[in-house]
A and B are shown apart, each in its own frame.
Chain A
């Protein structure tokens, strides 16, 4: 495990199909980087969404859009993005209904 000092609590908001699978739209999780938080998110709801959220190589599937405090993130660099207490991470897929 990582150094406990790196762990901070942030809010994670999810949308559409993720909501249906996880059973919630908002949760609070602890972690040091966006990637750690997403790993926790994947196993924090009704169903395990790891396969839905991650590629086999562990990268976040590229049709999901990630924003941290309303700034778009690069899905391939989530391991490098550190979070601060109180940050808000949004995870949403595109939607197409009309």
Chain B
């Protein structure tokens, strides 16, 4: 492991990553950690595409991304990495092509599937870290549960209109997403409002958290930050573990 970690960068890599190599806390060591890292991104929508673009650009070695969807016209106000001419095509395939052009050295693993309790457990074994970029509560809670069980850190991002939430859920010792939101809210009628810049900003922040976690920099572990883009405000909450939590509390179900 140390041998790989200490491996020098090629001349091309040194130039490609030159602006982040000079960031305190990243440097050659951090860059090597990024190269050796693997991240699973759940969802290839407004959040997922942005997270993936920044992680590929930063040189994260291996990126898995799962989404069953096809590109729709209503995606394009916020999912700016897709093209109008590609409507109807599988999003993970399109994204793989975009990411390959951005950074050919990154290993890409597009997964055209809906994540569920069955496929998550074996999948999580293959990745070191997970970013939650899904668009519904069922998927988010399923992912939270699977990450707690598999011992994977989960970087949570979500948006509603000009508002967003960001959190880092550490697997051991909690608190987990279910500690914060023990109950699913009633299903909303219609679609979630999503002006493009909101998932763009939250996705970029999720990518920043992933990069900081991999490089060993201080990050948002155990905190939830609510961003209010409508008023230029942020509210940070220290999360508490619920002893009776069905997911991370005393065994079992949930």
Contact = CB atoms under 8 A, between A and B. Distances in A.
Contacts of B45: 98
A95 interface: yes
Contact of A95 (B132, B159, B186, B240): B159
Interface in A61-92: 61-63, 65, 67, 70-72, 90, 92
Contacts of A15: 160, 163, 226, 228
Nearest to A13: B235
A27 interface: no
Contacts of B180: 65, 72, 94
Contacts of A61: 183
Interface stretch (B53-61, B85-93, B133-141): B133-141
A65 B181 CA distance: 7
A53 B45 CA distance: 31
- Size band of the interface chain A makes with B: 20 to 34
A25 B164 CA distance: 14
A16 interface: yes
A16 B134 CA distance: 18
B238 A70 contact: yes
A94 B137 contact: yes
Contacts of B226: 15, 90, 92
Interface of B: 43, 45-48, 132-137, 140, 157-161, 163-165, 180-186, 188, 192-194, 199, 226, 228, 230-231, 235-240
